[in-house]
Amino acid sequence: MFSAFCLALAITVTAAAIWSLVDDRRGSEAEATVLDVEHEGERTFVTVQYSASDGEVCEASFRVAVGANRSVTTGERMRVHHSDNRPCSSVREVGDHSRWYMILIAAVLLTAFGILAYVSWRRPRPPLPLRYAGMP
């Protein structure tokens, strides 16, 4: 039962990851104005405002992943990429490829739980006939 649940969960996570990547690929880029910059140790978080491809004005916060954008200051402009269906909530900077990690993790989980499900669901081998009992 546990392996069936984990396999169904892994399939769902993989499908969601693929859908998210497809939605991201159909998105577009926009020029954004940096409204706020927060430095937390090695991490930098920015809040930007931009106009989506449908004309909606959006404001979003995200972690900076591209090294060239870590020194950005308030008022500067930077390029962002937004998804097609959720332009105001699924935003990343241009050049950030960290979304591919999600599909890799989902594929590894799918493979692992698929193997576990196969091992737990396979039919047991029939016992050897007694005439082969003492053979190596």
Strand boundaries in 41-120, DSSP class E:
43-51, 57-63, 77-82, 91-93
Question: Does residue 127 belong to any structural domain of this protein?
Answer: no
Residue 24: give its domain's CATH number. Answer: 2.40.50
Domain count, the chain: 1
Contact 52, 87 (CB under 8 A): yes
Model confidence pLDDT, tens digit, residues 95-136: 777 777 777 887 888 888 888 778 777 777 777 677 766 666
Residues for the chain: how many in total?
136
Question: Does residue 65 belong to any structural domain of this protein?
Answer: yes
Dist CA 3 CA 20 (whole Å): 25
- Whole domain around residue 10: which residue ranges? 2-121
3-state secondary structure of 72: coil
Question: Does residue 54 belong to any structural domain of this protein?
Answer: yes
User: Global pTM?
Assistant: 0.63
Structure tokens at 95: 């050049």
